[in-house]
Structure formats: structure tokens, C-alpha cells
Structure 1
Amino acid sequence: MSLDLNTVLKDWPHEPGMIKVRKVTGLDGREKLQLRIDLGVLQMEMTGRPDGLRPHGCDSLLSYHQNRAQLAEASGDNYELTPEECSELQQEGIQYYHRYVSLFQLSDYAGVIRDTQRNLDLFSFVDEHSQREEIVWNFQQFRPYVLMMNTRAKASLLLHEGKFADAMREIEQGRDTIIEFFQQSNFPELATKSSEVAFLEEWLEEVSAKRPRSKLEIMEREMETAIGKELYERAAELRDAIKQLKANGQTAEKR
């Protein structure tokens, strides 16, 4: 059997600017995730650590260090990561990044939420167990992006269920969390320059525009239009109807 990957790659060409992802069945019978890159293909497990390894018998290197930190704290000791350990954790985090970006392309939002939250936990763990600010920032600088992807996945699930109001609240919360992160960092000015914040605000406007309007909202908009066109009799009719609709709603809430 030839080890030349061209036999695999020629039928699935790389396209610059496009994220190409697919699921395949592995030799072990389990589903795998493949991401096409310019020089080949990244293959990942669907769950657990993307490369399928179990460092020190744990699900991930992060979980290994989390377990050690818990044992140290139980003994009253501090647990501090070395620069080398932080570098290893960062490399592992990149694996999860590749997977959640791939899963997002496949609309596997639950998987995206799982992996983005995992990397957010990684950033917090390093922040807590490393005393070197430059190392901590090497992780934290990616928090806005990961928060954005986490928010996109959560809101997308809600939109799929038709819960527009809940999705909008999720987007607003994600945006505000990113802004708060910048404001509490050493670079508060980045809050107004953040591409992640800008994306979520633009998406929020799009979702709001597509949100199905309630009968009350439709009538209120129609009344505003009538006033603008100086159709005051029609505006008055709508005003009375709106008052009645609100009164009926309040009565129903009290029952």
C-alpha cells in the first residue's frame, strides 16, 4: 500500500479561504473528523482529546494538571505550572481549536460549546497557576475569540429552535462578557477595536431584523407609519387597539 497522500488529497482539493471539513469512518469503525489544510489533512477524534492520546492516563493534559492541582490544594500546597508545561498545554489547546472550528462548519454546535468551554477553562487554569504575566497573556489573548465562538454556537442552537429572543440575549451576554474582559485587562482600549465585539453586534442586528414580530410589535410599527404619513385617524384606531391588547395581556398574566 502506497504511503503517498496524493491519492487521498487529489479528490478533496484545498481551496484558499475556505474551511473544508468532513466526517469519515476510521479503521476502528468510529467516526473521525477531517480538516483540509493547504499541505494535507488533519484527522481528529470526535470526542476526547482530538489526537486520541491520553496523557498520563488522563482525558487530556489539562485534566492531568487539574487533578494534580486539586491534590496539591488538598495538601495545602500551591500548584504552579512551569513554562514548559504551559507550552504543552497551549499546543493541546490548539488541537481543540482545530476541532471546534471544524465542528462549527458542520453545525455541530453542542460540540463547539463543549470544546470552546474547555479552552476557556484552560485559560482560567493557566491564569490561576502561572505567575508569569506574559505566559498568562499568551493564553488570555485568545479569550475574546473563543468567547465569540462559544456565543455563536449557543445562539445558533437557540435560533434553530426558533427562540429568537433567547438567542439575542445570548449574543448580548457574549458581547458584554468580551467587553468586560478587555476593560479588566491591561488593554481596555481594545474593547472598542475588538473584531469579536463588532461581529456580535452586527449579528445581533441581523437576528433582530429577522425575528418574527408579535402582533403588538406589528401594530406599534404600523401606528408609527400612520403618524409619519399623517394618517391620524388610523393612528388613533391603532393606539386604542394597542391599549386594549396590552390590557388583555395584563389581565391574562394575573390569572
Structure 2
Amino acid sequence: MKPMREDLDALLRGWPYVHGEVTARKTHGADGRPVLQLRIDLGVLQMEVQGRPDGTRPEGHPTYLEALRDQQAIAGAAFELDEDRCVEIDREFVQYYHRRVAWMALRNFERVVEDADHTLALMDFCAAHPPSQDWIEEHEQYRPFVLFHRTQAAALAALQEADPEGAIAAIDEGLRALSESVADLSALDFEDVEEFGFSERLGELRRSILTEYDLQASLAEQLSDAIAHEKYELAAKLRDRMAEKSDRRSR
């Protein structure tokens, strides 16, 4: 009986790594279950498409976040994030990041949103039970990146459903969340938090959608543009329209 091969030569040769590109594919495991693969330098990551990407069930739960919630409910005020829990939290952060990137490469934007929401919920849990201020700051600096991924994916998912207005609404919601996150980071004395460039990139996506689908900018945006170009008569009319809409909403 020939020994089973343990090298990955055939796999890696058949799926070459291209520097600077994110390449993923959906395939099947030996038992026929669907799995997700992400090509990285020096190898391949294989992930489950449901539950935790590594397929484990921490303490019988689908994810470590759910295990933590159960532990906190039992321990109450005595609950704390010790070193072992922090290590497991970081493992889950990394796993969901890799799967989020893979779903994005495959243009499965709804799954990107789902995995981003899980990461944000895990961040919220950690922030509510901080092991130390330094640990929280170290992790919160990545929230804008996760929000950017989520917002971009939510907008693109709406476009896949031929809903450009929904895409604009998703971007506006994401920009508000991103602005709040940047303000929180500023309060933590992070320097140059605006330099992430995520708001600018989402703004560019928003403008491209408005142009491509011939959508009208919001009254506030039209007013800002009119003032910038010294079109004061138009600005006055836009203010009147905004006031009328505000009156109708308040009735």
C-alpha cells in the first residue's frame, strides 16, 4: 500500500500565488461539504462556510463569541477577559478576517456583511469587558477597517440586487458609523486617524453610483455644492426645500 502523500506540491502548482492579488475559491471537502479556500503566499487557507471558519465549536458553541456570552451570563460581574480568553478572541478575529477577504474576492457581498457584523459584535463585547485599556486600544484601531469592508460590501450587495438607492443608503449609514469610530479613536489619542482614507474611498464609491445610475444628490449635498460655486439664488431655493421637508416630517 502506497503511503499517503503529505506534500501540497500539486495543489500549489495548480493554483499559483500572484503577489498583490486576493484569490479565493469555493470548493468541496472530501466528504462533499462546501469549503472556502484562500490562496496566500506559501500556501492555502481552507475555511468552513458556516460557523467558525476553522470548523470548531468552542465549548459547544458555533463561535467563541457565543461561548463568551454564555460565560459572562453565568459569571455575571465576576466575568473578565483573562489571557487565555484574549488569545482565543484574537484567533477568532483573524479567522473571520481571512474569510471576509475570501468572500469579498468571490463577490459574495452578503457573506462579507455577515462576517463583518460578527467581528464588530466581538469588538463590542471586548470593549464592554476590557482586560486593559491598552488591549482595547490595540484592537479598536481596526474598527474603521472592518466598518469600511462592511459598508463597501453592503453597497455592492445592493447593486447586485439592482438597488442603487439602497447602496447609497448603505454608504451613508457606513459613513456615519465610520465617523463615530474615528471620533472615538481620536478620544483615545490615536494620531492621524483620518489618514485611513476609508471615508474618502466610500465617498468616491457613492459619487460613482450617483453618476452611473443618474441619481440626484441629497438636498444637503446640492446645497453644499451651490454654496461652493457661489450659486446663492439656488442655495436659497434648496434651503427652502429642506425647510419644507423638515416641516412635513415634524407634522
Q: Specify the TM-score bucket, using the shorter chain as the normaliser.
A: 0.7 to 0.9
Q: Quick one: which amino acid aligns to residue 116 of structure 2? A: T
Alignment partner, residue 155 of structure 1: 155
Separation in 2 of the partners of 1:55 and 1:170?
Answer: 33
* Deviation of the 1:211 alpha carbon: 1.6
Does residue 195 in structure 1 map to residue 197 in structure 2? yes
Q: Quick one: which amino acid aligns to residue 21 of structure 1? A: A
Does residue 48 in structure 1 map to residue 51 in structure 2? yes
* Deviation of the 1:61 alpha carbon: 1.6
Separation in 2 of the partners of 1:170 and 1:110?
Answer: 12
Alignment partner, residue 28 of structure 2: 25
Kept in 2: contact 1:182–1:190 (CA 8 A): no
Alignment partner, residue 119 of structure 1: 119
Rg larger in structure: 1
Alignment partner, residue 135 of structure 2: 135
TM-score by length of 1: 0.78
* Deviation of the 1:188 alpha carbon: 6.8
Alignment partner, residue 62 of structure 2: 59
Separation in 2 of the partners of 1:213 and 1:144?
Answer: 27
Q: Quick one: which amino acid aligns to residue 207 of structure 2? A: E
Q: 1:23 to 1:204 in 2, by over 3 A?
A: same
Per-residue Cα deviation, 1:29-53 (whole angstroms, up to 9, x for no partner): 1011000111110000001111111
Residue correspondence of structure 1 range 204-219 to structure 2 within 5 A: 204-213=206-215
Kept in 2: contact 1:23–1:33 (CA 8 A): yes
For residue 14 of structure 2, give the secondary structure of its aligned residue in structure 1.
Answer: coil
Residue correspondence of structure 1 range 90-129 to structure 2 within 5 A: 90-129=90-129
TM-score by length of 2: 0.79
Separation in 1 of the partners of 2:194 and 2:209?
Answer: 22
Kept in 2: contact 1:22–1:33 (CA 8 A): yes
Kept in 2: contact 1:22–1:34 (CA 8 A): yes
Kept in 1: contact 2:82–2:131 (CA 8 A): no
Separation in 1 of the partners of 2:89 and 2:178?
Answer: 23
Alignment partner, residue 176 of structure 1: 176
* Deviation of the 1:114 alpha carbon: 1.0
Does residue 68 in structure 1 map to residue 71 in structure 2? yes
Per-residue Cα deviation, 1:193-232 (whole angstroms, up to 9, x for no partner): 2221121111111111112358xxxxxxxxxxxxxxxxxx
Q: Give 5+ residue unaligned stretches, structure 1.
A: 215-255
Separation in 2 of the partners of 1:191 and 1:207?
Answer: 26
Does residue 87 in structure 1 map to residue 90 in structure 2? no
Q: 1:204 to 1:187 in 2, by over 3 A?
A: farther
For residue 22 of structure 1, give the secondary structure of its aligned residue in structure 2.
Answer: strand
Alignment partner, residue 221 of structure 2: none
Alignment partner, residue 41 of structure 2: 38
Separation in 2 of the partners of 1:188 and 1:211?
Answer: 38
Q: 1:55 to 1:97 in 2, by over 3 A?
A: same
Per-residue Cα deviation, 1:105-131 (whole angstroms, up to 9, x for no partner): 111112111110000001111111114
Alignment partner, residue 240 of structure 2: none
Q: 1:96 to 1:107 in 2, by over 3 A?
A: same
RMSD value, Cα: 1.6
Q: Give 5+ residue unaligned stretches, structure 2.
A: 217-251
Separation in 2 of the partners of 1:9 and 1:166?
Answer: 40
Indicate the percent of aligned positions where both proteins have the same amino acid. 34
